[in-house]
Amino acid sequence: MYSPKVLEHLDNPRNVGTMEDATSRGEATNPVCGDLLHLYLKIADGKITASSFQAQACPPCIAAASILTEMIHGVTIDEALLLKAIDVTQALESLPRNKEHCSVLAIDALKAALKSL
Q: Please name which of 106, 91, 89 lies closest in space to residue 38, comparing C-alpha atoms.
A: 106
Burial 57-76 (b: 16+ CB within 10 A, else e): bbbbbbbbbbbbbebbeeee
Q: Is 98 exposed, middle or buried (0-12, 13-18, 19+ CB in 10 A)?
A: exposed
- What letter does residue 74 receive in the DSSP assignment? T
**Which residues, 6+ apart, have CB-to-CB distance to 115 below 8 Å?**
26
Active site residues: 33, 102
